[in-house]
Amino acid sequence: QVQLVESGGGLVQAGGSLRLSCAASGRTFSNVAMGWFRQSPGKEREFVAAIGRSGANTYYADSVKGRFFISRDNAKNTVYLRMNSLKAEDTAVYYCASYSASYYSAGAAVGSWGQGTQVTVSS
């Protein structure tokens, strides 16, 4: 199991940027795909972005494509989510996730979740 701790959330004005970080513990970090999800009040948790174990392959929800960028540093056991051009509808609790496999695929099983970090975008 990988333990995950997110940071970097906060309050930002619409059009601004934030970078979320997710620090992972455990020796398996570099062997698994990682992802970010988000959940707004009254809504189900939704997929935001994912990255394969090497960092070469990335995947995004249509709603964030071109604005959000996921990356990872396996030497630091950390995955990042750079969020640009933020909109009010991006307001949510953002969760880091580690997948059970080395690659991402739609519907892939999540092995571990972080505790979440709040992102609030004011319009």
Q: Is 75 exposed, middle or buried (CB count within 10 Å of its CB: 0-12, 13-18, 19+)?
A: exposed
45-77 pLDDT, tens digit each: 999 999 999 999 999 999 999 999 999 999 999
Query: What is the per-residue pLDDT for 45?
Result: 96
Residue 1, pLDDT above cutoff 90: no
**Quick one: average pLDDT of 99-119?**
91
DSSP H or E segment with residue 25:
strand 18-25
